[in-house]
Amino acid sequence: MDILAVEEKHTCGTYAKQPVVIVRGEGACLYDEDGNEYLDCSSGHGVANLGHAHPKVAEAIARQAHTLLTLFETFPNDQRAALMEKFAALLPGMERVFFCNSGTEAVEAAIKFARLSTGRTGIVAAMRGFHGRSMGALSATWNKAYREPFLPLVPEFSHVPYNNGDALEKAVGGGTAAVILEAVQGEGGVYPAAPGYLKEAQRICRAAGALLILDEVQTGFCRSGKMFACQHDDVTPDLLCCAKSLAGGVPMGAVLLGPAVKNLTPGVHGSTFGGNPLACAAALAALAVMQEEKLAEQAAEKGAYLMEKLGAIRSPLVREVRGMGLMIGIELKQKVTPYLKALQEKRIIALNAGLTVIRLLPPLVITYRQLDRLAATLDEVLAGEPGGE
């Protein structure tokens, strides 16, 4: 079977297909149908924090698949209960959780919960922010390329500059249900929150009676160098959205809920597959691996190592290198598409973040030898003549 031809024939058209057929993964590497190895510095858009096919997660999935795959949350379950208890210990003060299947679903739930809790409707988000593609999450997203084809969106969303406390304070008032922010803006260009900004946002929300929603879909689960990026600033939000690497690659999302979230009664929201036993078993195994292998510490140390290597690249193309942990952006002075293609030709998979930023999200289990290869290849690629796009 010509896999590429079959996908090109039947795809719906919403994805730009790469000319590489991936059939297997192990650790920080992916393998194509011919057995060629690629260093995966995308982690499936931040999903594979534990690397690919981690044996402990695979074993947990197989074991649970032979026991019970699905169960709606009206019926309590051993795997779900254990995961709820585990979650309650991750971020003190947030002892309740809503389970769903993805980051955008977590954001949708958080928006609904904020409106229910406050009786208000206004949502303040940040410029350059990305929160998902469903209608509520898209309304919080800034990029007009994502928004404009689907106008009109959900009303009463507004946007302010990121890392600007004064602008945020002016935007939040008596009609504001919530402020939603990323701890590090990923899709928008890999911009970390400035020191103190999240604390300032929390203060502003509390003074106005609004809730603070932090979107940690991409930054959560050790990527930033801590379990959650908000812990760098010692901030506990009212609602925290997470997904991506939560269940080691199995689709799963969640919203952690603080005490200010209220009025959640049976039937106001739900998810058919949310908190299913298979995903919960995978998440329990994934969280155990994160703690046993000290992946937060690994991300902090390896991120600092890679940032130092990247900072030593002397290329006229590079405007800035920024990031947190193993979430790093290299901003160029021109479009990155040719350089991403050049990297892929050298069997390194990376992402863009907007038009001019190379985004690196390698698995947290990546080795130092692999980091050296990544840095050396980037140095080589960025030393060439500027690309044409």
Q: Are 35 and 147 in the same domain?
A: no
Last-in-domain residue among 277, 292, 307: 292
Indicate the pairing of strand 239-242 with strand 122-126.
unpaired
pLDDT band at 385 (very low <50, low <70, confident <90, very high): low
DSSP H or E stretch at residue 191: strand 191-192
Query: How far is the first Cα of the chain from the last one, in angstroms, to the nearest whole number?
Result: 34
- Residue-wise pLDDT for 12-40, tens only, equals 999 999 999 999 999 999 999 999 999 99
The reported pLDDT for the residue numbered 10 is 95
Average pLDDT over residues 157-183: 98
- Between CA 77 and CA 273 the distance in angstroms is 13
pLDDT band at 106 (very low <50, low <70, confident <90, very high): very high
Q: Are 223 and 114 in the same domain?
A: yes
pLDDT at 388 over 80: no
- What domain range is 233 assigned to? 56-292
Query: Is 168 in contact with 181 (CB distance < 8 Å)?
Result: no
pTM greater than 0.95 = yes
Q: Are 14 and 145 in the same domain?
A: no
Number of domains making up the chain:
2
Q: Are 209 and 99 in the same domain?
A: yes
Average pLDDT over residues 74-89: 97
- Residue 357 has phi, psi (to 5 degrees) of -120, 125
Q: Are 333 and 260 in the same domain?
A: no
The reported pLDDT for the residue numbered 320 is 97
Q: Are 267 and 301 in the same domain?
A: no
Residues designated as active site:
130, 215, 244
Average pLDDT over residues 357-386: 94
- Residue-wise pLDDT for 173-222, tens only, equals 999 999 999 999 999 999 999 999 999 999 999 999 999 999 999 999 99
Average pLDDT over residues 257-284: 98
Q: Are 357 and 223 in the same domain?
A: no
pLDDT at 151 over 80: yes
Mean pLDDT taken over the chain: 97
Q: Are 32 and 120 in the same domain?
A: no
DSSP H or E stretch at residue 39: strand 37-40
